[in-house]
Amino acid sequence: MSFKNNYVAIMAGGIGSRFWPESRNEFPKQFLDILDTGKSLIQWTYERFKDICPTENIYIITNEAYISTLKSQIPDIQEQNILSEPSRKNTVACAAYIAHKLYALNPNANIVMSPSDHLIFDERKFERDIVNALDFVSKNEVLVTLGIKPTRPDTGYGYIQYNTSKKIEDFYQVKTFTEKPSHELAETFVRSGDFLWNAGIFVWNVNVILQELQLYLPEMNDVFAQVETYNKENEYQDIEKVYTQCTNISIDYGIMEKTKRVYVLPSYFGWCDLGTWNSAYENSKKDYLGNAVYGKNVMIIDSSQCMIKAPDDKLLVLQGLENFIIVDSNDVLLICERNREQQIKDYVAEVRRNKGDKFL
């Protein structure tokens, strides 16, 4: 495997509605420093991949509205490595776009497709697993996904069941994918021992993903295949036309749940999909009552197990709450039970219906 054949595509076009009201349409969560680490989520993700492949081989796919924000946060990324999506069409469109673009550049490309909003606790283990997966797909005509050993029956994650008897090197053949199960089903998965959390990190050779796109989504694949301006001046104008013809579908539904060529690498590098306020709570320092507090002027009275985020210049006095999310972002105050945090997306939709986009 040649180091120069390794590429990374970071998907950074989402709006992170479950992190509302901190995450907004104009400045979504991938550009936020949710846990006050000193870097935004996308900055951490970009840094993570710099030791895995040359920086000129790292691409970021984002919505055209976020290009200037992206450039300000990652000033060393080259202009041609920013792929601007004219509209949000989910992750298959991202995968098809980068696959066709890289095939035109290097038909031997091995590609990592990574979200921009994950926490990784052991960077060295992560690096070893990604390099292992890149080497594996360079020698085997398969698609690879990374799976995380579950530590609890979480209903916010997808699950991967793998065949313990069908193995090549460290990689197991995938039997089933299940999206966000009920709590009872998640408990069964965790007890069984042959299910992993779906990390949403995919690795494949460009030829294999193009074959699978042609097999399962031929109409979408064809519109990308017809573009003749990849890596040329008029690429964006042609991509604008292509995106109007794209179906809104995820990689999981569009490809991974259908293909017979997918393998999973069980991974133990310490992982969290920082997708919700509860995941932020779980990964935050807590006071002696179990409160995670962000904000210099927060006073807590008889309250416990709360996730609290407030502006540093605002006094917030909290009394008598247990297991709540409290997020004050000046023009919006969210107070929500922690066990209902998966419904924040629904609340955002309700705000849009009643108040328009002003507070989104």
Q: Which of 325, 334, 322 is nearest to 359 (CA)?
A: 334
- Residues near 110 by Cβ (< 8 Å), separated by ≥ 6? 1, 5, 6, 7, 134, 137, 138, 203, 204, 205, 206
Q: Which of 68, 48, 158, 67 is nearest to 114 (CA)?
A: 48
Task: Tell me if the bond preceding 21 is cis, omega within 30° of 0.
Answer: yes
CA distance 326 to 14: 23
Residue 137: the pLDDT is: 96
Q: What are the start and end residues of each CATH 3.90.550.10 domain in the chain? A: 3-275
Q: Are 49 and 58 within 8 A, CB to CB? A: yes
H or E element in which residue 58 lies = strand 58-63
Q: What percent of the chain has pLDDT over 70?
A: 99
DSSP string, 109-160: -EEEEEES-EEES-HHHHHHHHHHHHHHHHHSS-EEEEEE--SS--TTS-EE
DSSP string, 287-330: -TTS-EEESTTEEEES-BS-EEE--TTS-EEEES-BSEEEEE-S
Q: Which of 11, 23, 8 is nearest to 345 (CA)?
A: 23
Q: Which of 94, 196, 82 is nearest to 144 (CA)?
A: 196
Class of domain 3-275: alpha beta
Q: What is the pLDDT of residues 255-311, one digit of tens each?
A: 999 999 999 999 999 998 888 899 899 999 999 999 999 999 999 999 999 999 999
Residue 165: the pLDDT is: 84
Q: Which of 271, 260, 250, 272 is nearest to 176 (CA)?
A: 260
Q: What is the pLDDT of residues 314-339, one digit of tens each?
A: 999 999 999 999 999 989 999 999 98
How would residue 1 be classed by pLDDT, with cut points 50, 70 and 90?
low
How would residue 2 be classed by pLDDT, with cut points 50, 70 and 90?
low
Q: What is the pLDDT of residues 5-60, one digit of tens each?
A: 999 999 998 888 889 999 999 999 999 999 999 999 999 999 999 988 989 999 99
Q: Which amino acid would we find at residue 144?
A: V
CA distance 312 to 101: 44
* Mean pLDDT of the chain, nearest integer: 92
Q: Are 264 and 172 within 8 A, CB to CB? A: yes
